[in-house]
Amino acid sequence: MIQRIASIHLTFYSIISLGVLLIMGVVLCYFPDHQSAIDGLNSSLIHHWLGETISSNPIVSIWVIIVCMVSAILFINALLCSATTLLSAALKRPSLKRWSFMLMHVLFLLVLACHGLSLISGHKTENIQLYPGESHELSDGFSLVIQGITFVDDTRLISMKTKKNRHLMTRKTFHPDKNYASVVLMQNQKPVTSQKVMMLNPLVHGSMRITLNRFLFENPVRGDERDGKNSGKKNEAGDGIKKEKKMGAAFTISKNRFTTVFFVAYGLLISTIICFVLTKHSPR
């Protein structure tokens, strides 16, 4: 029984099934209701998300459940294969190639485990829209304060729809190292750390990760109306009519102790794959 679960055939079918399911997910995203449901999974734990979505969108809910089940099968398959076949082969005939292949599977298991644990533990909030002079209350007495926004590229990239501007954001038109939000992380009204948060360069403090997703313009509405749509946010500059559009940014704030382990394991996995490819083509 263990040999069947650890077989390469099950690995092949699991990977093919995941590929088909991911393609199905791409197709589902062409429908606004399904895409909205899938996007909601990024901002809540999976059991909370299922409780809210299973009745309103059973198609996406069933799809997510099947993806989790196939991923679990692949995890068990890789675990048993590593413990029974790969480890035995590496111990009997040690070589850099065999041990790198074994290590690659262990890191793959660690990445899968951390990813799975992040779905059921921690906290994640997306699309927190903030403008200079505003703050957002976090848990444990923390708060995020936006001091300023610097954007040196063509601002028309911000005004376009998300799907369209992503195609136009090339290396020539958008410079992530020059566009940033100056933020301060506070705890109990005292500064903890400050940083220029850029795309692909988040602010990391312990298990907390503050990521800049996109830049945006403020709608020309009253400040108190906009504040009502973004709970937990304070307008330190005061309310009133906004005569000029201010530039702001949308953040994702996540807190999960497995995130650091995930990124370290993922980086090591890539390095191990490169090492394995090099040893595979080296002379025996």
What tokens were used for 113? 């485990």
Quick count: other Cβ atoms within 10 Å of Cβ 71?
18
Q: For position 225, what pLDDT does the model report?
A: 46
Given a cut of 80, whether residue 130 has pLDDT beyond it is yes
pLDDT tens per residue across span 77-103: 999 988 888 888 888 888 777 888 888
User: Across the chain, what does the average pLDDT equal?
Assistant: 82
Round to whole Å and give the CA distance between 199 and 187: 24
Lowest mean pLDDT among 116-120, 128-132, 165-169, 174-178: 165-169
Q: For position 244, what pLDDT does the model report?
A: 59
- DSSP-derived letter for residue 199 is T
Round to whole Å and give the CA distance between 133 and 214: 18
Band of the pLDDT at 127, cuts 50, 70, 90? confident
Q: Which residue has the tokens 């799907």?
A: 163
Band of the pLDDT at 126, cuts 50, 70, 90? confident
Nearest 10 degrees: Cα torsion 172, 174, 178, 179: 170
Q: For position 18, what pLDDT does the model report?
A: 93
Helices (runs of H) and strands (runs of E) counted in the chain: 11, 9
Band of the pLDDT at 273, cuts 50, 70, 90? confident
Given a cut of 90, whether residue 209 has pLDDT beyond it is no
Given a cut of 60, whether residue 238 has pLDDT beyond it is no
Round to whole Å and give the CA distance between 200 and 177: 9
pLDDT tens per residue across span 135-185: 998 878 889 999 999 998 888 777 766 655 666 677 778 888 889 999 999
Taking the whole predicted model, whether its pTM rises above 0.85 is answered as: no
Q: For position 242, what pLDDT does the model report?
A: 45
Given a cut of 50, whether residue 241 has pLDDT beyond it is no
CA distances from residue 185 to 94, 128, 182, 253, 270 in whole angstroms, order as listed: 50, 15, 10, 12, 32
Q: For position 282, what pLDDT does the model report?
A: 57
H/E stretch holding 2: helix 2-5
CB 176 within 8 A of CB 211: no
Q: Name the percent of the chain lying above pLDDT 90.
A: 26
Domain ranges of the chain: 2-122+260-280, 125-255
